[in-house]
Amino acid sequence: MADRYYCSATRLRLRGPRQILPFLRSSALVTIAARRTPGNVRTRLLGMPPFPIYFTLTVWESEEAMRAFVKTPQHREAMAYMDRFARVGTFARFSSDTRRVGWRRAFRELRTPAGVHPPQPAKA
């Protein structure tokens, strides 16, 4: 049991209905890879039909475990297709004292994302 858990949340707005099935296929492969990665505590995908908006939430025992997952072929391939799948995506990384991190916390963290895809131009 870890003293601190490392979490990642994403919000993706798909380009349209034609991207839903390829995105879900890719997400299934990524979810399987995440759950098989040592140190994974929790992996969730949430869709918001009829809107093409999807959220992910993962919880890890360590930052090293999270980084190991990011290097998996399934995650790398999904990231390579990000421009085809998503109109815009945001992600947040945060830590927790408990492994039972839920959607409410993930949504709160996504209000101030650590990153946006595609990258937004700097404001002058």
Rounded to an integer, what distance in angstroms lies between the CA atom of residue 107 and that of residue 105? 6
Give the pLDDT of residue 1: 65
Peptide bond into 52 cis (omega under 30): no
pLDDT level of residue 50 (50, 70, 90 thresholds): confident
Mean pLDDT computed over every residue of the chain: 91
For residue 110, the tally of other CB atoms under 10 A from its CB is 18
Give the pLDDT of residue 82: 86
For the chain, give every domain's residue range: 5-117
Q: In what order do the strands lie in the sheet with 40-47?
A: 40-47, 53-60, 5-14, 86-96, 115-117
Q: Tokens standing for 28?
A: 């299934």
Higher pLDDT among residues 84 and 6, named by residue: 6
Residue 119 reports pLDDT greater than 80: no
For the domain spanning 5-117, the CATH number is 3.30.70.100
Give the pLDDT of residue 83: 87
pTM for the model = 0.88
Give the pLDDT of residue 124: 54
Residue 121 reports pLDDT greater than 80: no
